[in-house]
Amino acid sequence: MTRRDFIDVSDYTTEDIRGMIDEAIAIKARPAEYAKRLEGQALALIFEKPSLRTRVSFDVGIHQLGGFSVYLAPTDINLGVRESIPDVAKNLDRMVQGLMVRTFSHQIALDLAEHSEIPVINGLTDFSHPCQAMADYMTMLEKKGRLEGLKMSYVGDGNNLAHSLIHGGVRLGCHVRMATPEGYEPDAEVLEWAEAESKATGAKVEITNDPVVAVKNADVVYTDVWASMGQEIEAQARREIFQPYQVDSDLMAHAASDAIFIHCLPAYREEEVTAEVIDSEQSVVFDQAENRLHAQKAIMIRLME
């Protein structure tokens, strides 16, 4: 691995990504072997958005690797207002060995990485959600036994998560099909990147406005909330637009008979997914949530060790 930061999955090679996923699986199986890998190291956690899984998985993860965390709430820093981003980065350089940021603007993560000498991990931005995608593909590998040629269908908003799923799917040789309402497709630059990079791994990325087409014979069906943090004012309008994209038992019936259902959580039952689906035996959402811990441990070891 040549990069020191983890900003986007697309920054890494297929070998890098698969290596981290394989190590995450090993960490999950034998956690005691990794208990001192980051002994004494400090990870700063900058949160400008609320979080359950990101906060707990990074906090617990660094502790279980022998290090410790320093939580920085929005009021502690007020990035770019109380103190400039370069100054924040240069201060933290002197005090901690790694930095995770969960924020709105993707540029903030890029700027922190540019001005920092320590590794910077993107815990979520408005453009991408790379740590989530790593846990997702780890879960798919565990449950389906392969990633190359795997049919992964995503139904919903072409958002930050969708971008990272495309990045990961292309690198890992998956067949990614996404169904979004018209006007809510993933960013054109992500699709252009996918077209250019997919030939190397045999991956396929298809975008449609028809959820049935996307889900047909899928091995994995994925959805996300219809209105992400920062889009609350659009929530009611989005409910009406996205209602035909709800993942219910009728839609799941078009997937393969042994398909699994995943969701990055939090989930709003009877909106983007029905309770019948998310609470069914096909759903592996809590295994997927647990894998955030293991995948992020692998990322921290690769960057901070």
Show which residues are catalytic: 102, 129, 132, 224, 264, 292
CA distance 101 to 46: 5
Angle ∠(89,91,95) on CA atoms, nearest 5: 110
Alpha-helical regions (H) of the chain: 14-29, 53-64, 74-77, 85-93, 106-115, 130-144, 160-172, 188-197, 211-215, 235-242, 249-252, 275-278, 285-304
> Exposed, middle or buried, 113 (CB in 10 Å: 0-12/13-18/19+)?
buried
Question: What spatial distance separates the first Cα and last Cα of the chain, rounded to whole Å?
Answer: 13
Tally of CA atoms within 13 A in the half-sphere of 200 that contains its CB: 12
Residue 196 CB neighbours (<10 A): 10
